[in-house]
Amino acid sequence: MMNQPLTFLYDHKADVLYVSCGHPVYTDSVALNENVILHLEPASDTIVGFSIIDFIQRFTNTETPACLPLSATFQLLHKTKKRTSQSRRATHRG
């Protein structure tokens, strides 16, 4: 599952954000807490995605960042356009 792009799908009616490595596939699921469900590859128990329940409610009504007890390593799969200083300013919240 490594080197797969992250796929995001938001279900507005259910207020659930689904995040998966590559195309979503059948997985086993384990509740990390009341709002986060981990999706595990059945053969290896490797985390291949997660869902956040009550996503908008949980992440929009706060001024402090919300954190999940997960870590990640990011790798660029494709070359992208060189960022300009203007785009850096627009995306940096330091």
In whole angstroms, what is the distance from residue 7 CA to residue 19 CA? Answer: 6
Mean pLDDT, the chain, whole residue set: 81
Residue type at 79?
K
In whole angstroms, what is the distance from residue 85 CA to residue 80 CA? Answer: 15
pLDDT of amino acid 31: 94
Secondary structure letter of residue 27 according to DSSP: -
Each residue's pLDDT tens digit, 39-68: 998 888 888 999 999 999 887 767 777 788
pLDDT of amino acid 45: 87
pLDDT of amino acid 67: 80
What's the pLDDT band for 76 if we cut at 50, 70, 90? confident
Secondary structure letter of residue 4 according to DSSP: P
Give the percent of the chain with pLDDT over 90. Answer: 35
